[in-house]
Structure 1
């Protein structure tokens, strides 16, 4: 039997077991496949099951209206090609194009920064290279502690994730005191979970020349360091906590925080 003679719904059911990339490739096979591969039925299976809720959280109501008017295929590519700012616009969402997995970035304003509201220690700046309206710039502290959190149910199930601290240092002659001599501790864990020594990473954010490279520059010009990883089974393990700390009494300054990014990790 010629597979092109199958009803469109059968072809759609077959394609639903493939990937967005395979569905796009199959569209050139024949008119029947193109019709099935472009259908809302197939692309709804590739979108997150809670895509309507995600759209409703858009920081702009006009953005929500535009997204709701798109076909499901167009919506998929819009969400994978463009950042969706959610809530008050201080966090962002995007789909990983190849897999349809959910990725988030928690902006500095949505993080818990000890003394972050005190202008004596931190200031809030607008930087053209940042995706967010404001970033946090550290003036001077001796107790540095930053926490982020996200519900596991908001992430893709059956997925290994990694969290990345995204930052840079103030330009000019400013010395990045404390970050080249004392490491920060980085932890990722589910709320209520005990974190042992094996679950804590110690990293120099501004290592001296010749030291092993742990932090790397991103394509957007910011630096990132992996805080840790976790497996999101079914999204029912509760809140995931991301914790950065350096409280040994060393004076620190010059750090600029954009946020914490959570994205799938592949070994």
Structure 2
């Protein structure tokens, strides 16, 4: 549940004995406002630009807070904001989000101290985070670390995925919401012909989080499938699946788009067209072949025709994008996790219509994470 700063300081979150009077509540901005949530007496003396609010401003803000606390703090039928117990503020912050808690820590020293509380960050961690971490030695060491605060643990899981289930999956958190993210290693996927050395090679790369990745040598039939139980995911959230890969001297991946599908096991999912090699596809579209060399470029001309024929009616095509870790990714589809279900989410990628050999695809895995901008806000 996401709560605005105005709501945090209202009686809907704090106990009734801490009701904030209307005169003070009116000075607290809505999410789109620009006035910091401080006393009117301070706001009259100091105009603070919220857009310039940074950690460097905290000392200045604390000085203004002290000035206010040393002055007349009486309010009409209410209580001073800074007189609220730190535990009460921490309890309110725990009903917000990690992003909101970090922002509200800039209000003053009391809020900053409350925002560091283990009780706050314990609420931001998934309810089953201990179970997930106990599925690996690295995770167990994190749980046993006495020097690691809950906030530090949260941030560590956001920036450093933990390998679980014998290194076949990784577990991490989405930083803004704290929702769960997983990546299925290539070894945890079903890749047709991957057990035949003539077609696929299992190798290791230092840039991969997993010990092995799958490198495509040459196949006509490209098919990659994965699945994850929805009980492992955060509830009431739209998740998207992404194939994480890279290309090395690729061949045949630019001439025929693939078909991706994500859905619930036993049900037909939504299909979409995907291009693993968008740069190669663009080169084919722009190809101009001299008359004297048309026989030599017959394959490219045929490939260009296939691209045009396989363009979906709605014109929507997914293209690969560069990731910050050196890999590429392409969205296979999305699905909304409704509630406490126990079914399999399946995702697959196929290219079997081109009838030509393909090579140069290196698969790290399939990542399942909350889709940006589509997380659902649920009131509890």
Deviations 1:106-152 (A, max 9, x none): 11111111121121211111122222211101112222211111111
Q: What's the counterpart of residue 205 of structure 1?
A: 276
Pick from 234, 240, 244 the counterpart of residue 162 of structure 1.
240
Matched, 1:257 2:366: no
Moved more, 19-28 or 207-216: 207-216
2:68 corresponds to: none
Which residue number corresponds to residue 341 of structure 2?
A: 236
Deviation at 1:213, TM superposition (A): 7.5
Distance 2:111 2:325 in 1: 38
Q: Which has the larger radius of gyration?
A: 2
Correspondence for 1:246: 351
Hey, what does 1:68 align to over in structure 2? 144
Q: Which has the higher strand share?
A: 1
The match for 1:224 among 315, 324, 329 is 329
Gaps of 5+ in 2: 1-78, 286-316, 374-380
Instruction: Pick closer, same or farther for the CA change 1:62–1:129 going to 2, 3 Å.
Output: closer
Higher RCO by CA contacts (8 Å cutoff, separation 6 or greater): 1
Would the alpha carbon gap of residues 203 and 25 (structure 1) be closer, same or farther in structure 2, given more than 3 Å must change?
A: closer
* Offset of residue 31 of structure 1: 4.3
What does residue 51 of structure 2 align with? none
Relative to the length of structure 1, the TM-score reads: 0.88
Q: How many angstroms does 1:235 deviate by? A: 4.1
The 5-angstrom pairing of residues 1-267 of structure 1 reads 1-58=79-136, 61-69=137-145, 70-171=148-249, 176-177=251-252, 179-195=253-269, 199-206=270-277, 207-210=280-283, 214-236=319-341, 238-248=343-353, 249-267=355-373
RMSD: 2.0
CA positional deviation for 1:27:
3.4
Partners of 1:235 and 1:123 in 2: CA distance: 39
Higher fraction of helix: 2
Give the secondary structure class of the aligned counterpart of 2:89: helix
Tell me by how many angstroms 1:30 deviates: 4.1
